[in-house]
Structures are given as structure tokens and as C-alpha cells.
Amino acid sequence: MNEIVIKQNIVPNVWLMGIYSPQVAKKAKPGQFVILRVTETGERIPLTIADFDSDKGIVFIIFQVVGKTTSILSTLNIGDSIADFVGPLGMPYEQDSNDKSYLFIAGGLGIPAIYSKVKMLHSQGKDIEIIVGGRSKENIFFEEELRKYCSSLYISTNDGSYGQKGLVTDILTQLLENGKRYDEIFAVGPVLMMKAVVDITKKYGIKTLVSLNPIMVDGTGMCGGCRVKIGNEIKFACVDGPIFNGFEVDFDGLMKRNSYYQDLENLSYKEHKCKIGLGE
């Protein structure tokens, strides 16, 4: 169980893995996530369910090597197993049946989080447009896969090495200023990016959903690590989310909480690299 059956290096430091987990695959829905431990003594990390095949019992995850745990995970190969693979967790993505047109905006590692949602909406005959962005061309992936399920795909890169030079919000602004309107906009990626999207869409009164990834430990709401302020209430992203109304999210508080353990995480990763001989 929890055997790695697919492994692909899709762009530098970003891996796709297919995990054989029939129970998770059977119940998974777009918008949900898993929490895994690579080893029995390892830390728990949440990862978005990028896609799933309930017939074959496979759950697809995509991750970037940014710390000790993801570094260890990237060294595993087909045939190896992950100690714990718990899910599906969180509330699934639900759309209004009356909505016809959608715009998805994804930055960097947010791209996998929109894939299964886009597939589902496409199967329902919805009109879908997508904006994806990254620092450079090597940070753009799943382009061909996404094109199958949308009428328009816009690409931006910070350095201009692919698509339009600039940010995803530059393209969003251009579309709205040119008269484009959507029933729903869904944004996922860096917190600053989601905040910037919401700042724009508020002016036009367009319903905007965001998918949050705060600090998370147990995935049941018991630890309180993933609490976020939504409107005047405290919610737990692992059980109430991870999808929320973007207009109500306290993005400043979220950014502050997400930075709490950054120094410790960086130190742990450096120590790990030293142990395996990679140095700094």
C-alpha cells in the first residue's frame, strides 16, 4: 500500500508521483488534499491531490523540493512505498450550477491545484479560461494538459522567457479592462499573488475563490496550526477549507503565520543537505 507506481521529473526540482492508494483514490474529489509521511519518524506534509484514477486506485501528487521532507521524497523511486498517505482531506470544490464561465489563475506550484477542477468543469460543458504564471519558462508546466480543457490559456513569466512578461495579475487586468467577465474566478498560488488577484476582482464584484495552504500538522482541525481568519470568524483550512471566499480572507495574517517556522525549516534542510553531501 502507498506504493509509488509513477514518477516523473516534470521541471527542475518539481516531481509528479502516482501513489497506489485505492481507498483515497475511490473517495477523492477535486479540491481535496492528502497528508503524508515519507518515513515513520518523518514530519507530516500536506499536498494537493493533482488528479486521481479511481479505477486504477492511483492518486497523483506534485511537489517541489524545497525542504528536507520533499528532498527525501524525491529520492524514492517506483516500487518504493510511503509510510503514511492519509486522505482525502478538506472540503471538495463545489461550483454553482448556474455559473457558466470560469477563469482559473495559478502561479507556480498552484498549477496542479487547478487541474482536476478544470477537468471536471470541462466535462460539464463549462467555458473555461486559464492564466498560469511562473518566474521563468522552466517554472511553467502542465501546459498541454491544461489546453485540452480550456478555450484560452494565457501564460506569464516574470523574466519574459515565455509567454507575456510580467505577472498573472497583469493579464487579469488586461482581460477585465477589455470587457471580459466571468461568473467565477479561482486563484491558487503564492499568498501575495492571491491577495493581488482579489484586490483586482473586488473592484469588478466578481466572485473569487482561493485555495489556501497554511501551516498544517494533523489535518483534523485539532492542532489549530492551519487557522485562518475568514471574515469575522476563525476557520481551519484542513477541515473548513482549503477553498475560501477570497474577499473574506485575512491575507496579511496568513502571510505572517506562514513565516513562523521558515527559519527552522531552512535550517533543517541545510542540515539534511550536509548529511547527504550536497553542502549549501
The answer to whether 274 is a known ligand-binding residue is no
The answer to whether 64 is a known ligand-binding residue is yes
The answer to whether 238 is a known ligand-binding residue is yes
The answer to whether 226 is a known ligand-binding residue is yes
The answer to whether 63 is a known ligand-binding residue is yes
Distances (CA, A) of 268 to 82, 83, 126, 226, 239: 21, 20, 45, 21, 28
List residues forming the annotated binding site for [2Fe-2S] cluster. 223, 226, 238
List residues forming the annotated binding site for FAD. 62-64
List residues forming the annotated binding site. 62-64, 223, 226, 238
